[in-house]
Structure 1
Amino acid sequence: MNPLYHKARFLLSAPDVSHLPPDTGSEVAFAGRSNSGKSSAINALTGQKSLARTSKTPGRTQAINVFPLDESRRLIDLPGYGYAKVPAKMRAHWQRALPEYLAARESLRGLVIIMDVRHPLTDFDRQMLEWCVQAGLPAHVLLTKADKLKRGPGMSTLQRVRSELDRDFPQTSAQLFSAAKGDGIEALHRQLDEWLEESEKQQAESY
């Protein structure tokens, strides 16, 4: 397990892309439909109970939260999407801002898309994946709350999701994840290591 992720700390909540830290180094972003378990996944990943605020109220994350890991690497928590009770003006704002962030942020190395294993690949999820394709950005699907399903149905869902991703969004990976049981944390660490450490190597070689 990479101890880097346990060093995550809260830096700021940005109301829009222009208020983010300088676009240097490397970062991985997390996006997911409201109430999909995004905050719980970030907390499990970092081994911290309250780094990302969890709430039973969907749509709680309405800004871009920045969690530095060290001087050059960051985790980014994007606003939850797909929740109808968010004010229409704010929904329209993020509908513009999210694809802008994915396409224009040069330090962004990959996007982790959080989906409830019981309700994967919604229209909103597919929209995020489409934006990743347009931005040339790799994505990794995290099927959360896997403890809510028995192993057989969980693996069956994973196989179905991977099949649909291979067909519609090739080069997008997927895994099962349970924040409650800690299942899938090491696999997620490996994916983030691949994105962040490869970036560090490329930057070092460029000097």
Structure 2
Amino acid sequence: MDWTPLILSAKLAIWTMLLIPILASPMASLLAFGRFKGKSLLDAVVTLPMVMPPTVLGFALLVVMGPRGYMGGLWEDVTGNRLVFSFSGILIASMVFNLPFAVQPLRASLEKLDPRLLESAAVLGLSPLSTFFRIVLPNCLGGLAAASILVFAHSLGEFGVILMVGGSIPGQTQVASVAIFEAVEALRFDDAFRMSAALIPVCFAVLLIINKINARRA
């Protein structure tokens, strides 16, 4: 059996887990502490990938990231390569799909932060950026760790969005979920079973880690 799809899934999950805090942390802070018009609309937009059918989200990303889309056209002008049907494309799609799964637990962690800490930081003259890195972030590392690990597990099982944006190119975009689907279609049940059996313990271990983190935070 070819283990390349599992390796590619792990690579995608690791990169998504490492990069997602860059998007999720400012967004969660804005939703947790911000007081502005349109906050509920922004919250709905951020949460939308969680409830939208993956194929619908994947099609929307395919349009935006395609050669005629704004993002896809800009990417091709800068790099000379197409964004869709590439690892970079499925990585961006994975980050969009997983954004609410990182924002929600991180936002909940931020909202539990003692407001007196933020008031003290303001009295001491810390800027909002300094307050975030010196006060907010250190006190929410548990929430950030739980969000990142959850995103890692969720990335391993992505199917609809990845298939729409990346297709099934062996060694480039054929992740484990797509390979399992194709193995079942081809009646290669042994290959599908082996890849599934390799993913289940990893997902189970991730859930145990998240439960331990949440127990410590509680």
For the criterion TM > 0.5, the same-fold answer is no
TM-score (norm 2): 0.25
Instruction: Choose between structure 1 and 2: higher strand proportion.
Output: 1
Q: Which has the higher contact order (CA 8 A, sep 6+)?
A: 2
Instruction: Choose between structure 1 and 2: higher helix proportion.
Output: 2
Q: Which entry has the higher C-alpha Rg, 1 or 2?
A: 2
